[in-house]
Structure 1
Amino acid sequence: MSDLDIQLDREAGRFEAVVEGHSCVLDFTLEGDVVSMNHVGVPKAVGGRGIAGQLTRHALDWADDQNLKVRARCPYVAAWIERHPEYQELLT
């Protein structure tokens, strides 16, 4: 799956995409110039399609555009960054 319509809800601290009626999210908190990526959630009904990876890439690209450092509190985000070393420079 590609070209997800990912929306940023800065007040709620989340990126969200709705896939087949299911809410897929990456939750974060922002403290100064550090964004902590806390949780990625994709319902099983739409799992296995790379949605979590797309949310993660989108959130990391946003952090880079905003000149933010990233704290990968979510194990999925941490593992994704390990597999995509071009994003490791964002880590704090």
Structure 2
Amino acid sequence: MAGGWSRDGAVQEQIDSTIEDALERARSELPRGESLKYCEECDEAIPQARREAVPGVRLCINCQSERDKHRSAVSGYNRRGSKDSQLR
């Protein structure tokens, strides 16, 4: 059920497109290719189990954890339109 000026299903389309964008972004960040034996950042050995579990891995666990902490969080804001803009 849509309200106001939007047509039926418009809200669900926005939700679906936001999820599709998030999936595309996550898939694009997956490592590819052959795993490195030594970390790109600190030159520590990357354990064989990690290289097998994450094909294309380039960082050791410690460096990957640090990188993940410093990454900017994705806001989840739907750039196709916000509820505020629809109410005006």
Tell me whether the two structures share a fold, i.e. TM-score over 0.5: no
Which is higher, the Rg of structure 1 or of structure 2?
Answer: 2
- The structure whose residues are more often strand, as a share, is 1
**Which has the larger helix fraction?**
2
Q: TM-score range by the shorter chain?
A: under 0.3
